[in-house]
Chain A
Amino acid sequence: MDIKELFAKQEEIKRKNLNAKNEKESEITKVMTFYIGDQVYGIEIPSVIEIIGVPHITVVPGIPYYIKGIINVRSKVVPVIDMRSRFGKEEKEYTDRTNTIIIEEAGVSVGVIVDEVIGVIPVFQKNIANSPDRIGVNDNKFIKYLLEMPDGIKLVLDVAKLIYDGDMYLTDE
């Protein structure tokens, strides 16, 4: 009983802290930004495991064209998605600048190939633009929110949707 009460109290404190933080418009997260074509996209840092170049990709049959295959990331086999191809853009040959960002969501790791990683920026509540209705649906279903930064608008990707795509079904196996 005591444990439960304690737990409840802790949750309460957490929630209060969170609210307080939001009110003060303190930094709420950090976002890693990168180019896909001319557009700047971002992924929230907690989802990012690491950034590597483009390693040798082993082609696997029977998967969609935008999944390029599997790679070996420190003895872990990880599938890689070409973001250009995922977003319906023309594919480009990989260069020195091309990066693979390894992201993870609920235990599932995926590598996403992007044109170029820019850096990490802090995000404040005031930066988050009021999302138009079009965000999060149809073609924009991978967008979590827009960031209005002094140097331009950045689209922050929804990692969960990117991995657990709406038309995908993950079995436990």
Chain B
Amino acid sequence: MRRFLRYDIKVTLYITARAALQPAMCGKAMEIFMAKVEPGMEAMVDVYIFETTALLEQLDEILLRTEKANEFTEEDINEIFRIMHTVKGSSAMMGFENLQVLAHKGEDMFFIIRENPEKMTDVGFVYDLVFQMSDLFKAEIDMIQNDDNYEPTDFSDMLAKLEKGAKMLKGELDGIIAEESAAAAAAEAPAAVPAADPDCTTVRVFFEDGCKMENIRAFMLINNVKESVDDVEIVGYVPDDIESNQDSANTIIDNGFLLSFRAPDPKTVFSAIENSLNVQSYEVIEANAEQKAAETAPAEEAAPVKQQTAEAGEPAAPSAPAPAAAKPAEKPKSEQKAAPAASSGGGKQSLISVNLQKLDQLHDIVGEIITTESMVISNPELEGLRLESFTKSARELRKLTADLQDTVMSIRMVPLTGPFQKMNRIVRDMKVKLNKDVELVIEGDTTEVDKSIVDNLNDPLMHLVRNCMDHGIEDTAEERTAHGKPAKGTIKLSAMSSSGEVIITISDDGRGIDTEKVIAKAERNGLLVKPASEYSEREIQNMILLPGFSTNDVVTEYSGRGVGMDVVKSNLSKMGGTLTVESKKGVGTSFIIKIPLTLAIVDGMEIMVGDAEFTVPISVIKESFIVKRDQILNDTKRGEMIMIRGVCYPMLRLNEKFGLYSEVSDIEDGIVLLIESENRGICLFADKLIGEQQVVVKPFPKYLSQYDIKGQGLSGCTIMGDGSISLIIDVNNLIGTH
């Protein structure tokens, strides 16, 4: 009733309350978006980021698949077209202009490919180009999402590359010839000048890579030519806006600087160009060659060239050749692309995306229903009544609620396909960079785990796969064949679930771990705690997971920074997972990750201390027993200890630790739990054991996060069947603080 009342008032007071609370209600998130997004669009940013990320992943997937299969179907192209188009549209709507332009250029390129699908597979650079573009997109989206002071990135480099790529595809020629014709088409007027005037010579000058300010250099070049050659007449140059337009530098980098001049002896001019600063190379463009190039260019582009030729007597050249050339090609495209977009936009997905928060809410409500249900069914007022049909219906209800709970739990479970597929991309990129031929085999990627685990798996997986690529697989194919292995290396990524755990294995068939090298390194780094000869092979192999260990002396781009495996291990243990290594020298290495299916459920032992209930994870309990008073040893500081099978453990009385009143003070009346974690043990003294129970872990309320409750040895809480709250003991912290 109260709740309804509240909403009712909320509606009538909506405007007032909103205005009054506005400054306080503006969360951090809101303020961030305010800066970069139009007001009123904040709520859509999340959706935009989610959708665009999903689309880009889809794009990557299609590209990887087609590259591997070496064929490109019409369906694939239409799908890519749809993706690029959607990204373009939504970016434009959100006001991210740079992303919109980038998507547009990508679309341009695929427009050409759609006409000639075979080019996709025949022309090698296309994949690299598109992957680069997709990476830029992802990086930018990431920035929008995470960077408080987001500034749009300038993509002009990539845009130029895409433009060039599109032109290369458009010309029937590939490689350098295509590049030349593209540049020549862009050159337009001055390029055509020689045709009208046989005395005129045109040169294309390239400046040194990375010399910066190409436009200024070009300007200096002109002056230099004018000064050193007496009777030279500069007819024109492209780009012609070098003095005023900074961007012309990029055009010069891509297409070179075109200079047309009239001189009695061109050779004097050539030597002047040679002597100018930062000039890398130059070439003389023959009048005939230019005409040929003009013919290969599409008709729309040739037309303005001709027009310019007519008035070529004037040195004025078109101001922006590149965009002018791109525009005529644009129109027919937008008409054509509407058709496939509409046909493929029908939506073959049977999935919907739901906010995780709503799922948590649903989960909470189901828990509530189950509690309420047992309150109704075992209500004390029903006692002693004959309730045949009620009992029957109650049983029915219980079955349905159990089904409901299972279903809700399963909603949160997602397959590992996402993080596994991402590894394809990493292997592909590293394959090229490291020049190793490696195949990634994926098995069991449909295994389902909790969503929060999947989200946290990406980094550890990536690190392990990189490690296998970099250190595991032999450097050369010869090395492999010499050991009787196939020249192509294999990295296997597999997952399976077994009794509440997911086991993920990343294995390579590389050189394996060199135990001698490892132990020597460990000794040098001071990681050994006993004589080197006493370590088993397994122990040595697992040393690579220790903090401060990195066998690779050379830092590479991918791994070997000395922060590596231990970070992976600690990331996994945060999720309650473990990492182990198995390796055989010369045969290969396997990393085995074991993580619980869900973070939310813990097998716990319920204990009572005073009137407070605690949950101790079963996995850390070694044993529970009652002790005699004479088994207790007292140290000098009134601390209690107990000797169990020759090992001395400190005793921690939970009531003292947590400041609770308990009637049980005699050690013989209560119960002692021996718990062990990370090779350290401690005994806990509690009043009594209640029993084993699976509990749903809930974090402490956000409000309490300002206090160090975790440091007190508590990791969270859980709501018991009777509605009371039980605190979950964090064993590592408890041992650490004692």
Q: A: which residues have CB within 8 A of B?
A: 3-4, 7-8, 11, 14-15, 17-18, 21, 28-30, 44-46, 48-51, 56, 58-64, 67, 70-72, 74-79, 105-110, 160, 163, 168-173
> What are the residues of chain A within 8 A of B726 when measuring CB–CB?
58
Nearest residue (CB) in B for A21 is B16
B709 interface contact, C-beta 8 A = yes
Q: Are B16 and A28 in contact (CB under 8 A)?
A: yes
* 8 Å CB interface, B1-32 against A: 2-3, 6, 9-10, 13, 15-21, 24-25, 27-28
Stretch of B220-228, B251-259, B600-608, B712-720 on the interface side: B712-720
Q: A7-B40, A58-B725 are known contacts. Are A170 and B706 too (CB-CB below 8 A)?
A: yes
Residue among B16, B39, B700, B712 with most chain A CB within 10 A: B16
Task: Report the Cα distance A62→B613, complex, angstroms.
Answer: 17
Q: Are B714 and A61 in contact (CB under 8 A)?
A: yes
Task: Report the Cα distance A77→B702, complex, angstroms.
Answer: 10
Q: Are A46 and B700 in contact (CB under 8 A)?
A: no
Min CB–CB distance B611 → chain A (angstroms): 9
Q: Are B700 and A62 in contact (CB under 8 A)?
A: no
* 8 Å CB interface, B557-580 against A: none
Task: Report the Cα distance A163→B719, complex, angstroms.
Answer: 24
Residue among A11, A28, A63, A173 with most chain B CB within 10 A: A63
Q: Are A76 and B364 in contact (CB under 8 A)?
A: yes
Task: Report the Cα distance A56→B658, complex, angstroms.
Answer: 18
> What are the residues of chain B within 8 A of A107 when measuring CB–CB?
27, 702
> What are the residues of chain A within 8 A of B702 when measuring CB–CB?
107-108, 170
Q: Are A173 and B364 in contact (CB under 8 A)?
A: no
Task: Report the Cα distance A171→B705, complex, angstroms.
Answer: 7
The 9 A-B pairs with the shortest beta carbon distances in the complex, nearest first, are: A7-B40, A160-B24, A58-B725, A62-B712, A75-B368, A46-B17, A75-B364, A61-B658, A61-B712
Q: A58-B724, A109-B701 are known contacts. Are A77 and B719 too (CB-CB below 8 A)?
A: yes
B15-56 Cβ-contact flags toward A at 8 Å (1 or 0):
111111100110110000000001111000000000000000
Task: Report the Cα distance A110→B533, complex, angstroms.
Answer: 59
B284 interface contact, C-beta 8 A = no
Q: Are B20 and A29 in contact (CB under 8 A)?
A: yes
Q: Are B727 and A58 in contact (CB under 8 A)?
A: yes
Q: Are A60 and B709 in contact (CB under 8 A)?
A: yes
B397 interface contact, C-beta 8 A = no
Sample (11) of A-B pairs whose CB atoms are under 8 Å apart: A8-B39, A18-B16, A45-B6, A46-B10, A60-B704, A62-B709, A64-B707, A70-B700, A107-B702, A109-B701, A170-B703
> What are the residues of chain A within 8 A of B6 when measuring CB–CB?
45-46, 48-50
Q: Which of A60, A105, A171 interacts with B714 by CB under 8 Å?
A: A60
Give how many A-B residue pairs fall within 8 Å (CB-CB).
135
Q: B: which residues have CB within 8 A of A?
A: 2-3, 6, 9-10, 13, 15-21, 24-25, 27-28, 38-41, 364-365, 367-368, 371, 612-613, 657-660, 698, 700-709, 711-712, 714, 717, 719, 723-727
Nearest residue (CB) in B for A47 is B21
Task: Report the Cα distance A60→B412, complex, angstroms.
Answer: 30
> What are the residues of chain A within 8 A of B709 when measuring CB–CB?
60-63
Task: Kindly list 7 other residue pairs between chains A and B, CB separation below 8 angstroms, not including A67-B704, A106-B25, A108-B703.
Answer: A18-B19, A28-B13, A50-B2, A58-B725, A58-B727, A75-B719, A110-B703
Task: Report the Cα distance A62→B700, complex, angstroms.
Answer: 13
Q: A7-B39, A61-B712, A107-B702 are known contacts. Are A75 and B371 too (CB-CB below 8 A)?
A: yes
Min CB–CB distance B360 → chain A (angstroms): 10
Residue among A3, A21, A44, A70 with most chain B CB within 10 A: A70
Q: Which of B21, B364, B727 interacts with A46 by CB under 8 Å?
A: B21
Task: Report the Cα distance A105→B702, complex, angstroms.
Answer: 12
> What are the residues of chain A within 8 A of B712 when measuring CB–CB?
61-62
> What are the residues of chain B within 8 A of A50 when measuring CB–CB?
2-3, 6
> What are the residues of chain A within 8 A of B9 when measuring CB–CB?
30, 45-46
Q: Are A51 and B16 in contact (CB under 8 A)?
A: no
Q: Are A169 and B706 in contact (CB under 8 A)?
A: yes
Min CB–CB distance A170 → chain B (angstroms): 6
Task: Report the Cα distance A160→B709, complex, angstroms.
Answer: 23
Q: A58-B724, A72-B719 are known contacts. Are A171 and B706 too (CB-CB below 8 A)?
A: yes
Task: Report the Cα distance A7→B41, complex, angstroms.
Answer: 10
Task: Report the Cα distance A70→B709, complex, angstroms.
Answer: 12
> What are the residues of chain B within 8 A of A60 when measuring CB–CB?
700, 704, 709, 714, 727
Nearest residue (CB) in A for B658 is A61
Min CB–CB distance A13 → chain B (angstroms): 10
Task: Report the Cα distance A15→B22, complex, angstroms.
Answer: 13
Q: A4-B38, A105-B24 are known contacts. Are A63 and B707 too (CB-CB below 8 A)?
A: yes
Min CB–CB distance B440 → chain A (angstroms): 35
Q: Are B703 and A51 in contact (CB under 8 A)?
A: no
